[in-house]
Amino acid sequence: AQSVTQPDIHITVSEGASLELRCNYSYGATPYLFWYVQSPGQGLQLLLKYFSGDTLVQGIKGFEAEFKRSQSSFNLRKPSVHWSDAAEYFCAVAGYNNNDMRFGAGTRLTVKP
Amino acid sequence: KAGVTQTPRYLIKTRGQQVTLSCSPISGHRSVSWYQQTPGQGLQFLFEYFSETQRNKGNFPGRFSGRQFSNSRSEMNVSTLELGDSALYLCASSLGGTGGNEQFFGPGTRLTVL
């Protein structure tokens, strides 16, 4: 079965600084990879997804992620963080033939003024 | 297009009771998945329904069950509630078919078991 590891439980960055959130996945075939964001008391919102093709994918709110098959990674990046980006971020993996999506434990992002 | 709706948003129950949560997917979506979110275990997959059939199931006890109706609306039931069932229950809908379909999440139902 697929699984996801997000090594960083909590990250603090200053507003305007760059951001990278790490995600490693385990899946036997080509995975579908996702990054979701969750604000307090809210559901999850999709930031971006990777299915195939270009390994650098662009998402909403200025986020991007790079798929690296050799490292089984799908790290999320943003060049300049805004205070409104403070939230919890989840990486997820799904297989082709099922909707059994597996999430990482999440990374909570704090943005310092 | 209206998003995924979940009712109720908040629920308080006592141990031993049972509870039913409801999820209305986005119009045209045939797949509904349920997740349990807790601080300790994170987001865990409960089950997925597609065209009224349970297609996938996570590793939860039989006290957790669900169903899907012909209009794709889904309900989740938890019987004999335990304190550890306190969680945010999220529902997500997608067009269905494959795992590549984007899942759209509802705001969740916050269940507290006393």
Q: Which among A97, A99, A108 is the top mutation candidate for probing chain B, defined by the most B β-carbons within 10 Å of its own β-carbon?
A: A99
Task: Give residue-wise pLDDT tens across range A42-56.
Answer: 889 999 999 888 899
If you measure CA to CA, which chain B residue comes closest to A88? B42
Q: Which residues, listed in sequence order, are joined to residue B36 by a DSSP beta bridge?
A: B44, B89
pLDDT surpassing 90 at residue A38: yes
Determine the average pLDDT of the residues in A71-90: 96
Contact A36 B105 (CB under 8 A): yes
**Token couple for B36:** 């349990």
Per run of 10 residues, the mean pLDDT along chain B (length 114 residues) is 92 97 95 92 91 90 96 96 96 80 90 97
- What is the distance, to the nearest Å, from the Cα of residue B63 to the centroid of all Cα atoms in its chain? 13
Note whether B83 contacts A: Cβ–Cβ < 8 A: no
Note whether B56 contacts A: Cβ–Cβ < 8 A: yes
Whole-number pLDDT of residue A99: 64
Apex A85 CA angle, A27 and A94, nearest 5 = 15
Whole-number pLDDT of residue B82: 97
Rounded CA separation B12/A86 (Å): 29
Whole-number pLDDT of residue A57: 95
Alpha carbon dihedral A78, A82, A87, A88, in 10-degree steps, equals 10
Average pLDDT of chain A is 91
Higher confidence at residue A110 or residue A3?
Answer: A110
Determine the average pLDDT of the residues in A19-38: 91
Whole-number pLDDT of residue A101: 82
Q: Taking Cα atoms as reference points, which of A26, A60, A20, A65 lies closest to residue A44?
A: A60
Contact B33 A102 (CB under 8 A): no
Kindly report the nearest CA distance between residue B85 and chain A, in angstroms.
18
Out of B92, B99, B106, name the one closest to residue A98 (CB): B99
Whole-number pLDDT of residue B96: 76
Kindly report the nearest CA distance between residue B76 and chain A, in angstroms.
17
Give the long-range contacts of residues A37-40, CB within 8 A, separation 24 or more: A37/A61, A37/A87, A37/A88, A37/A89, A37/A90, A38/A87, A38/A88, A38/A89, A38/A90, A38/A106, A39/A87, A39/A88, A40/A87
Rounded CA separation B63/A5 (Å): 28
End-to-end CA distance of chain A: 41
Q: In this predicted structure, which of A63-67, A77-81, B41-45 has the lowest mean pLDDT? A: B41-45
Q: How does residue A40 score in pLDDT terms, banded at 50, 70 and 90?
A: confident
Contact B103 A99 (CB under 8 A): yes
Size (chain B), residues: 114
pLDDT surpassing 90 at residue A97: no
Kindly report the nearest CA distance between residue A13 and chain B, in angstroms.
23
For residue B106, give the amino acid letter: G
**Token couple for B69:** 């109706």
